[in-house]
Amino acid sequence: MRILYLFLAIAILASCNNKDYNPALYISKQEQDSLIYSVIRYSSKLPPNSNHENKFESQFDEYYRAVAADYDIRAYYKDEKGTHFFLMTRPARSITPMRESIGCKMVYGPDKEIREYEEVFRTWKMPEDQLNEKFPMLFDKMVRGESLEKYYPKNAGDQYIEFPDGRFYFDKKERKWRDHLIDSLNNRQ
């Protein structure tokens, strides 16, 4: 009988620690699309004839709407402090169909403006089935605030996270990926 109680206690504790990150449980499809569009100018490639200074101009809206249509949200969680964690995927450039994912966290200001935005990681491009096996664990670790360094390229090769790595990092102030090497060369001048 003690074994049964022990088993039940372990099962209850385990279920309390397993969060369901299915975005459909928390936000509608329309809200997911809106979330993607609100960050697409940070996460996608720049439109032709644009730069980081003018990427928010309305002349590029059509480009960003088309790009956002290829993204989806695979995981979502909002913590008690109001931080939104989400994982988006997008098609990757490849001969065979592949996707890559972006693990993000974001905080809104009082007027629903984005106050903080961070891309915590970007995965390597991989087939859909591999991505679906790997992203839940990476997302859960991100939400829990656990280190992802074990999954960085220097430790796991091209199996999990492509960025950050020893060279590229996400600049939260500028809301874009930066290059340590280029930054250090520019700072020498």
Cis omega (within 30 of 0) on the bond before 164? Answer: yes
Residue 148 lies in a domain: yes
Strands 84-91 and 72-78: antiparallel
Residue 98 lies in a domain: yes
Residue 15 lies in a domain: no
Residue 45 lies in a domain: no
Give the total number of structural domains in the chain: 1
| pLDDT at site 18 | 52
Instruction: Determine how many CB atoms are found less than 10 A away from the CB of residue 117.
Output: 18
Residue 47 lies in a domain: no
pTM: 0.83
Residue 59 in tokens: 């002349």
The tens-digit pLDDT sequence of the chain (189 residues) is 444 333 333 333 333 345 799 999 999 999 999 999 999 999 999 999 999 999 999 999 999 999 999 999 999 999 999 999 999 999 998 888 999 999 999 999 998 899 999 999 999 999 999 999 999 999 999 999 999 999 999 999 899 999 999 889 999 999 999 897 765 555 554
Domain coverage including residue 82: 21-39+71-187
Residue 65 lies in a domain: no
Q: If residue 114 lies in a helix (H) or strand (E), which one and from where to where?
A: strand 114-123
| pLDDT at site 184 | 53
Residue 13 lies in a domain: no
Task: List the strands of the sheet with 72-78, edge to edge.
Answer: 72-78, 84-91, 99-108, 114-123, 161-163
| pLDDT at site 166 | 82
Cα 145–chain centre separation: 14
Residue 146 lies in a domain: yes
Q: If residue 171 lies in a helix (H) or strand (E), which one and from where to where?
A: strand 168-171
